[in-house]
Chain A
Amino acid sequence: MTLAQILLFAEGDADGVSGLTLELATKARTLADTVTAFAPAHGETMAAELGAHGVSTVYALEGLGDGLVGVHAAAALAGHIEATSPDAVFFGQTTDGRDTAARLAVLADRPVSTNNVGAEIVDGGLVTEEPIFGGTQNIFTAYRAPAPALAMFRPKSFEAEPSGGGAAAVESVAAVDPGEAGRATVTGRHAEERSGPQLDDAAVVVSGGRGLGQPEAYSMVDELAGLLGAASGASRAIVDAGWVPYAKQVGQTGKVVKPSVYIACGISGATQHLVGMKGSKNIVAINKDPEAPIFGVADLGIVGDVHKVMPALIEALKSR
């Protein structure tokens, strides 16, 4: 049994649709006869790729300008869901996805199901799956408020696959003035420099944590990553401490990664971190505390000092 229509909150930029949105499109088309998308920006640009993943129509918001996405997208979405009656609205668990879903929840007076990694249709209603207690248990929740069900999903919960469909139709959606709530404006956008393999899609990831001892030691992570063609990541502890930018954070509040090999250096394995990386195919951990939780998920665990093991490993790789 499927739903009639699922509406996606579609995110992307001038370069294309975000991976997370394509993952949600792929899942949504197994749950509903029709998948549509609401794009707060770049709707026209994304139509071909969204169509190729099963989306029939992209509703493109006009005139967002320098306003914040959440409040403006929600104001327009409230009217849009009234007019088009989707059975569910799917959001990615992103900064703008969270803002928009939260604002819409207030406007439409319905709950938001958050942090999901799975979804199914049971007796005509949406049931979502959320990992709890650091991913040791999964809780399945049925949405009992009137349609549309609002649900948010974590990255990499589903695999994106093209459907072979043609470009989606594009229809404009007029902006709706959110009043005083919409008065915040974006006056500048700053992107972190992105070079080399990216955390999201790298086959190998090397991450560092507090066990590195000092910010300078993170250079060992970068060097090892360079030798392996890997992306470099970090635990929340050293991002909070300001050693590396947030863009490198792996975990609950950072990026979810599922590489072929994940190498954790000086990371104890707090729940916050494990949630973001334990889907990796193979895990190597180096930590001096034999009781560290990271060893509970490691395929190869080295109990030792990162300041001895990493330089030796780097030398060995260089001399090959």
Chain B
Amino acid sequence: MKVVVCVKQIPDPAIPGELVPETGTLNRDDKLILDESDSYGVEMALQLAEAAGGGQVSLVSMAPRSETSGLRTALAMGADDAVLISDDALAGSDALGTAKVLGAAIAELEADLVLAGVESSDGYTGTVPEMIAGVMGLPSITFAKQIEIADGVASVQRQTEAGYDQVECALPAVVSVTAGVVEPRYPSFKGIMAAKKKPVDSKDLAALGIDAAAVGVAGARQETVEVTDAPEREAGEIITDEGDAHANIVEFLTELKVI
């Protein structure tokens, strides 16, 4: 079985983000790391390949400046190889532009299963996996909290607002996985060393046959007109509990006529 996992390399979420003033898009100039949301997809792929008695797990990522640090993390977890699409014309791409690029790259890999996180931690549109399926003409099952593969059919529990739906789909298909479905493994020292030698196939837009006008800021066809600061909540009263702070809560709830 061949599993392709989409991984996004994002600015470190621990560092406050900022916008590029000219475009209103996220500044990605600093080092990028593996999005934690995608570590669940990588782990799921590794487990499904193991359960199938072996298989290939390939990564696909689109990133500026041929960034590979996040890819190396996922390769160190155990993925076999990676495709990296990097091109200056991609800066400012929206979800649809991203899906066109990832879809074209994945189509060359002849995957049985394409996995992705439900949404990235920086853009969180939650639309890219379904768009990739659309671009590739594949079925998709989003918000998966459990996946089993048997006889070329994926059985998926798809999270819904009410609970979950059981969904069956013959492969190939695109499946997006929710955070927390599996416990992503920590790369071992051996894995980290091995990852340095694993193949990363770098491509630009021309190699995928995609017109630069269809992607990037121009392809996004949306214009940032204003960025404003949201009104802050006024700071409230902070009390250190000395054994009777619950009385302050009772008083507060009484004032609000909750009790």
A contacts, CB < 8 Å to B? 68, 70-71, 74, 93-95, 98-99, 101-103, 105-107, 109-115, 122, 127, 131-133, 135-145, 179-192, 203-204, 228, 236, 239-242, 245-247, 252-253, 260-261, 263, 278, 282-284, 286, 290, 295-305, 308-309, 312-313, 316-317, 320
27 examples of A-B residue contacts, CB within 8 angstroms: A68-B139, A68-B141, A95-B161, A98-B127, A98-B130, A105-B127, A111-B96, A115-B124, A136-B232, A138-B227, A140-B225, A141-B24, A181-B137, A186-B165, A187-B168, A190-B163, A191-B162, A203-B258, A245-B163, A283-B233, A290-B238, A296-B233, A300-B236, A301-B237, A309-B245, A312-B243, A312-B244
Assuming the contacts A137-B230, A139-B227, A297-B233, asked whether A112 and B95 have C-beta atoms less than 8 A apart, the reply is: yes
What's the least CB distance linking B103 to chain A, in Å? 9
Are A95 and B142 in touch, CB under 8 angstroms? yes
Is the CB–CB distance between B230 and A131 below 8 Å? yes
Nearest residue (CB) in B for A263 is B249
Q: Is B147 part of the binding interface, using a Cβ–Cβ cutoff of 8 Å?
A: no
Main secondary structure of the interface of A (DSSP, over half): mixed
* Alpha-carbon gap, A79 to B103, bound state (A): 24
B17 at the interface (CB under 8 A from A): yes
Shortest Cβ distance from residue B77 to the other chain A in the assembled complex, whole angstroms: 18
Chain B residues bordering chain A, tally (CB within 8 A):
79
Interface string of B231-259 (1 = CB under 8 A from A): 01101111111011111111011001011
Q: Is the CB of B245 within 8 A of A304?
A: yes
Contact of A190 among B96, B126, B164, B241 (CB under 8 A): B164
> Residue-by-residue, is B91-117 near A (CB-CB < 8 Å gives 1, otherwise 0)?
000111001000000000000000000
Q: Which residues of B lie under 8 Å from residue A252 when comparing CB positions?
A: 124
Do B222 and A184 touch (CB < 8 A)?
Answer: no
CB-CB < 8 A to B211: which residues of A? none
A246 and B229 within 8 A (CB): no
Q: Of A98, A204, A300, A303, which one neighbours B240 at CB under 8 angstroms?
A: A303
For B251, give the chain A residue with the smallest CB separation: A300
Please list the 4 inter-chain residue pairs (A to B) with the smallest Cβ-Cβ separation, ordered nearest first.
A304-B241, A240-B180, A106-B134, A102-B130
Q: Max chain A CB contacts within 10 Å: which of B19, B126, B180?
A: B126
Distance in angstroms between the alpha carbons of A136 and B228 in the assembled complex: 9
Within 8 A of A (CB), among B166-180: 166-170, 173, 178-180
When distances are taken between beta carbons in the complex, the residues of chain B under 8 Å from A300 are 236-237, 239, 248-249, 252
Q: Is B159 an interface residue (CB 8 A)?
A: yes
B125 within 8 A of A: yes
Contact in complex: B167, A186 (CB < 8 Å)? yes
User: In the complex the two chains form, what is the Cα distance from A142 to B245 in whole Å?
Assistant: 49
Query: Which residues on B sit within 8 Å (CB–CB) of A260?
Result: 256, 258
A133–B252 CA distance with the chains assembled, in angstroms: 31
| Contact present for B228 and A308 (CB under 8 Å) | no
Q: Which A residues lie within 8 Å of B16 (CB)?
A: 133
A99 touching B142, Cβ below 8 Å: yes
Taking the closest CB of chain B, its distance from the CB of A176, in whole angstroms, is 14
- Besides A103-B131, A300-B252, 14 more A-B contacts (Cβ < 8 Å) are A70-B130, A127-B225, A136-B229, A140-B228, A141-B222, A143-B221, A181-B133, A182-B139, A188-B165, A253-B119, A260-B256, A302-B241, A303-B241, A309-B245
